[in-house]
Structure 1
Amino acid sequence: DRLYFCVTLCREGTRLRIIGDRSRLPVSVQKTARDAEEATRNNSRLHLVLAISYSGRMDIVQACRKLAQKVDAKLLRPEDIDESLFADELQTSCAADEASSSCPDLLIRTSGELRLSNFLLWQSAYSELFFTDTLWPDFGEAQYLQALRAFQSRDRRFGARKNNAAL
């Protein structure tokens, strides 16, 4: 039930944000999404971002368009565009605040597929990837703990080479 879901989010202090192409959703679902986002907008304990009809490529394209519009309106100079400004225009920037980042530390890919499938292409640049054959509906606590253990064993370098070794 939609109302129960919204009440639960509020009770738990969860803020809901939905990213993706909402125009592809039924009007009733669009309204429910807007209502739920509005009802939870002041919550800050946890941020839940649902990617519905989301495309990483389209997210990048729409960010470029927004920046181009700002340049066209003389609100921004092309030479001022950097990674931070670009990231601010991505749909996932809605999830970022001073205490968090819109870039995942760990990206778990279920179903045995060894690809990102057009998901969080910009944001996953330095994410650790975990692949599992388990299908999403069957992904439970045991699989989650397995992914966390694998993540804990990683040497995160955020793009730097191991021991700064030459190529």
Structure 2
Amino acid sequence: MAQSLVIMGVSGCGKSTLGQAMATQLEWRFVEGDDLHPPENRAAMAAGRPLDDTMRAPWLDRIAAELSQDAGVVVSCSALKRAYRDRLRGVPGVVFIHLALPYDVAKSRVSARADHFMPATLIDSQFATLEPPANEPDVIEVDATASFDTVLNTALASLARMGRSAP
């Protein structure tokens, strides 16, 4: 069965880092979801303006297109609302890995980043938008405060238990 992964969560949870590592471990393709934002979205976020659903729609469409291209792709995408995840579920075989992170840790991590367009001032809007994926059977939740090796190994082991570790 075709398999795709979406590494999801608020800014600062480690989506890109985990996504790259999982893609390497699984020998899959990695796609940085931030790179799929239209320029106007990136400009809005860089200016401290949160995105609304209308602004997110073309971005989610681009992510779905990447997920549909081939088996064995890992995409980083916040996927904060259930409606966003449902939109991506239109691609068969998608599994989400939710990197759960408390507000204070997210704020601290994003504040410490010097090389990213997303300012720490948007953490509040991220948490206001987040609809935790409770009771969604295709979501693996991982504690993003754990060491990176623990996060990676937990995600890989959980994926294998689902029988979803190979395209």
TM-score (norm 1): 0.32
The higher relative CO (CA closer than 8 Å, separation ≥ 6) is in 2
Q: Which has the larger radius of gyration?
A: 1
TM-score (norm 2): 0.32
